[in-house]
Structure 1
Amino acid sequence: MTFVSFCFFYLYCMKKNQFLFLVVIALFISSCNTTPKATETVTQPDTSLSYAKGFHIEKKENITLITVTSPWPEAQQPYVYALVPKGSNIQKDTYNAVIEVPVTTTMATSTTHIPALEALNATETLVAFPDTQYISSERTRQRIESGKITDVGMNENINTELLLDIAPEVIFGFSINGQNKAYQTLERSGIPVVYNGDWTEQTPLGKAEWIKFFAPFFGKEKEADSIFKTIEKSYNSAKDLATQTAEQPTVLSGAMFKDVWYLPGGQSWMAQFITDANGAYLWATNEDTGSLALSFENVYDKAQQADIWLGPGQFTSYEQMSSTNSAYTDFEAYQKHKVYTYSNTKGSTGGLLYYELAPNRPDIVLKDIIHILHPEITPEYEPFFFKPLE
């Protein structure tokens, strides 16, 4: 889990106790009007995924199979979902769920699901969400405030009675280990839960490509492919632009939580952003894909002279940092006011837009970081997520 992911998980845990991290080994299948056995049809492997590793899609005649292999870290089995046309007589058989598509009512369980639904123009299907206060998107907040989206409690303690009354056709679930009892209750009652594991992806474009996971539920595969190609092109163009400078500023990330400094592993998605922005992440040679837990002394020895400090936890100002731990002031990036945070970019209810939108729009994150590391390349650019500490 990356440091950014850790912060996301920590907030989610505080809310549910939540801001956890998402969900899913999903396999969906969009179907046929007959009832063929899986062994009787020819499987057509999906070749449209270029970066995402945690799921894949196959076609079996009129059935779309979505297999989620990474709903959470170290998952022991895949989850396979069959998406079938309305009115199909397909038995659950060996699938984790059979869902008739296109669906018209859904429940999402992570704020990272919201941008994908909005991009696919499927927001009107969203009828329930746990702890709606954490949603920042203005478009979806309008639906919440008009009563079109019902708050059903916290993700680990969902109000199942209320949700059974709402009866969404599918729940896009998030779980860190598959032990959510509320999900089990809902599944027994006939409401399918499909796990979304976008948060387990280790690359920026891998996370963003999960928009293709949502698309078959709404019959919008072509739209998803077009949206992702635009993001991919934007990301790679920015990456190419960053190579125009030979300078590679050194980068520190993370902050202390109690007595431990959490920062991105060398193979994490945040480390990839820094590398693609032509920066020198000081832990780039580390092999961890999640976050590192280090002592203050270890970080200080290596990063006291770092040029840039990117993502200092939840800190929003220099004063807040120094009052929490005066040792932060010993870092050159702090002294030179080269600390940049995503924690000052908030929605109307206080939720951090970074946690909601960044996994879906890695191109914006990359452009922010390129501007911070190489302002001479994009002098007119206005960062969206990462901004100078106040």
Structure 2
Amino acid sequence: MLLLLQKKYISSILLFIFIGFLSCKNEQKEPPLEFANGTSVPLKYAKGFSVTQFKNYKVLEIKNPWPKSEKSYRYVLINKENAAKTTFMRDEFDGIITNPIERIVVTSTTHIPGLELLNEENTLVGFPGTKYVSSEKVRTRIDNESIRELGKNEGINTEVLLELNPELVVAFGIDGNNKSLDNISKSGIPVVFNGDWVEESPLAKAEWIKFFGALYNKEKQADSIFNHIETEYLNAKKIAKNVAHKPTILSGAMHNDVWYLPNGTSTEAQLLRDANTHYLWEDTEGTGSLHLNFESVFMKAKNAEIWLSPSNYSSLESLKDSNEHNAEFDAFKNKNIYTANNTTGATGGVLYFEQGMSRPDLVLKDLIKICHPELQPNYDLYFFKPLK
């Protein structure tokens, strides 16, 4: 009799456990989304990031956030509805970003065109160094205090930033060592490093519009914008291809006894090559700028026909005052010096520094207008202007 009661008791417990298991199974969250059968967003030139589209989410990978980086970053982009019912392994990703973004902080003026081109500048709520912003639309939002000042990029005011509660901070890094950004990330706000400036060609840098397109679920619009920029760039390059004369080009100027010039593999040199000019240092290689003394530059470029981007000097007079020998260059004597530094926004931000990377087609058209004015008789210079 006792044995029979024990068997019934054990059977009852097993039945209870089985029913409880079924109940828990029915109530648990949906399983994690499958990491298979993703489709990559097409990229023609950019190598520093990728976007893979899955059924209900995207994976954004930043492959080269700064020069010689040994670390890559992966983020999930997912809408709020799917995020609420989906579990991801946190150690597999550097951040879970709900999109489309409604509140964002960016940290470089070069990021602002990405927002503007997609008509998303109204999502920008904070920026470090607002006085450097040239965009009229964004300046209006700064002036009416819709965008807060966040101090300096290397020491962002994290207290104000946390108060703004953005869904995302788009940053740039020189080496990955920024305590402010580390603290922001630890607070739960995803920090994504934008490595557009590390790309090795003008069109590769411009293609990072697709990075912002992924954040805002505007991939088709971003693709259309880039295709327009690419077409304009390649058409301009084609126009300049068959010129009879390639003017000789000098670039840069002295700063603290060092003359800084673009090396021959830089994007600046590529633009000069695509404008069909003879940049006098086009055969050099390396990363970063060339560092030369005055004598070596003068010997090679005394008779250069055009002088571009003479550092921060805003007039012929200031250029001569910095070094009287600057007036001995033929380009100075012929007043054939052009700078982008004098084209600024309302508070002095240089338009070229903000838009030049995202609009290489306009930079190239400027260079062609300067070097081959007969090819574009009706084109008005956008960034560059003669040094007066």
Q: Distance in 1 between matches of 2:59 and 2:309?
A: 38
Q: 1:239 aligns to what? A: 237
Q: 1:45 aligns to what? A: 40
Shift of 1:37: 5.6
Residues 70-105 of structure 1: per-residue CA shift (max 9 Å, x gap): 111111111111111213123223111111111110
Q: 1:357 aligns to what? A: 355
Q: Work out whether residues 124 and 147 of structure 2, in 8 Å CA contact, stay in contact via their aligned partners in 1.
A: yes
Q: Distance in 2 between matches of 1:186 and 1:127?
A: 15
Q: Distance in 2 between matches of 1:289 and 1:363?
A: 23
Q: 1:90 aligns to what? A: 87
* Structure 2 counterpart SS, 1:214: helix
The reply on whether 1:296 has 2:294 as its aligned counterpart is: yes
Q: Distance in 1 between matches of 2:276 and 2:78?
A: 45
Q: 1:107 aligns to what? A: 105
Shift of 1:289: 4.1
Q: Distance in 2 between matches of 1:257 and 1:73?
A: 24
Q: Which moved more, 1:82-91 or 1:131-140?
A: 82-91
Q: Distance in 1 between matches of 2:240 and 2:383?
A: 18
Shift of 1:182: 0.8
Q: Distance in 1 between matches of 2:317 and 2:329?
A: 14
> Residue type matched to 1:53 in 2?
K
Q: Distance in 2 between matches of 1:60 and 1:43?
A: 5
2:124 alignment partner, one of 118, 126, 129: 126
Q: Distance in 2 between matches of 1:241 and 1:282?
A: 22
Q: Distance in 2 between matches of 1:44 and 1:69?
A: 18
Which has more radius of gyration? 2
Q: RMSD value over aligned CA atoms?
A: 1.2
Q: After superposition, where does 1:300-379 map in structure 2 within 5 Å?
A: 300-379=298-377
> Residue type matched to 2:116 in 1?
E
The reply on whether 1:192 has 2:193 as its aligned counterpart is: no
Shift of 1:61: 3.0
- The runs of 5 or more residues in structure 2 that have no matched partner are 1-29
The reply on whether 1:172 has 2:170 as its aligned counterpart is: yes
Q: Work out whether residues 51 and 214 of structure 2, in 8 Å CA contact, stay in contact via their aligned partners in 1.
A: no
Aligned residues: 355
Shift of 1:380: 2.2
* Structure 1 counterpart SS, 2:77: strand
Q: Distance in 2 between matches of 1:332 and 1:73?
A: 37
Identity of aligned residues (%): 47
Q: 2:32 aligns to what? A: 35
* Structure 2 counterpart SS, 1:298: helix
Q: Work out whether residues 44 and 59 of structure 1, in 8 Å CA contact, stay in contact via their aligned partners in 2.
A: yes
Q: Distance in 2 between matches of 1:123 and 1:143?
A: 9
> Residue type matched to 1:155 in 2?
N
> Residue type matched to 2:306 in 1?
I
Q: Distance in 1 between matches of 2:87 and 2:355?
A: 36
Q: Distance in 1 between matches of 2:300 and 2:63?
A: 37
**TM-score computed with the length of structure 2 as normaliser:** 0.89
Q: 1:56 aligns to what? A: 50
Q: After superposition, where does 1:207-218 map in structure 2 within 5 Å?
A: 207-218=205-216
Shift of 1:202: 2.0
Q: 2:226 aligns to what? A: 228
Q: Distance in 1 between matches of 2:59 and 2:340?
A: 37
Q: Work out whether residues 307 and 333 of structure 1, in 8 Å CA contact, stay in contact via their aligned partners in 2.
A: yes
> Residue type matched to 1:63 in 2?
Y
The reply on whether 1:67 has 2:61 as its aligned counterpart is: yes
**TM-score computed with the length of structure 1 as normaliser:** 0.89
The reply on whether 1:270 has 2:263 as its aligned counterpart is: no
Q: Work out whether residues 358 and 365 of structure 1, in 8 Å CA contact, stay in contact via their aligned partners in 2.
A: yes
Q: Distance in 2 between matches of 1:385 and 1:162?
A: 34
1:201 alignment partner, one of 165, 176, 199: 199
Q: 1:183 aligns to what? A: 181
Q: Work out whether residues 106 and 170 of structure 2, in 8 Å CA contact, stay in contact via their aligned partners in 1.
A: yes
* Structure 2 counterpart SS, 1:245: coil
Q: 2:15 aligns to what? A: none
Q: Distance in 2 between matches of 1:385 and 1:376?
A: 19
* Structure 2 counterpart SS, 1:349: coil
Q: Work out whether residues 104 and 169 of structure 2, in 8 Å CA contact, stay in contact via their aligned partners in 1.
A: yes
Q: Which moved more, 1:88-97 or 1:306-315?
A: 88-97
Q: 2:14 aligns to what? A: none
Shift of 1:271: 0.3
Q: Distance in 2 between matches of 1:278 and 1:388?
A: 20
Q: Distance in 1 between matches of 2:301 and 2:238?
A: 27
Q: Distance in 2 between matches of 1:328 and 1:379?
A: 30
